[in-house]
Structure 1
């Protein structure tokens, strides 16, 4: 499926990329980690949606997601 001549999987990758980039504009570290975690989830979906699937994209972003979640829920 395409939109504006770009495949759906590519759109997912662009949205994931934009989400991660926007996360670095956040002043609050918690907001940064939340938005970055969303970007990581989108990248995981992107890695799965690619054919063949991209294990490096999936594994890297799962690791970053776990790190973000650790710091979000870490007790102070």
Structure 2
């Protein structure tokens, strides 16, 4: 993947994570945070691979999916 595109994916991941802290609706927070984490996983794969970035963000992504699909409705 083009290194410039990878950089933009990393920046967009940061924007999504920060945006998730601004929102108040729990469902929206989880969705936006999940998108940010997925972007960080993509960024990590194409930048190295950077396992310290990929592993925690991949886990957080699965946690968000779990809570969105099986968790208590907020």
Q: TM-score, normalised by structure 2?
A: 0.85
The runs of 5 or more residues in structure 1 that have no matched partner are: none
Larger radius of gyration: 1
Asked if 1:18 corresponds to 2:11, the answer is: no
- Which of residues 14, 31, 35 in structure 2 aligns to 1:34? 31
When the two chains are superposed, the root-mean-square deviation of aligned CA atoms in Å is: 1.5
Structure 1 residues 21-52: Cα deviation after superposition (integer angstroms, max 9, x where no partner): 001111100000000000011000000110x2
Bigger share in helix: 2
Asked if 1:58 corresponds to 2:54, the answer is: yes
The runs of 5 or more residues in structure 2 that have no matched partner are: none
Asked if 1:67 corresponds to 2:63, the answer is: yes
Bigger share in strand: 1
In structure 2, what is the Cα distance between the partners aligned to 1:45 and 1:53?
9
Q: TM-score, normalised by structure 1?
A: 0.83
- The ranges of structure 1 where at least 4 consecutive aligned residues each deviate by more than 6 angstroms after the TM superposition are none
Q: Once the 2 structures are TM-superposed, how far is the Cα of residue 70 of structure 1 from its aligned partner?
A: 1.1
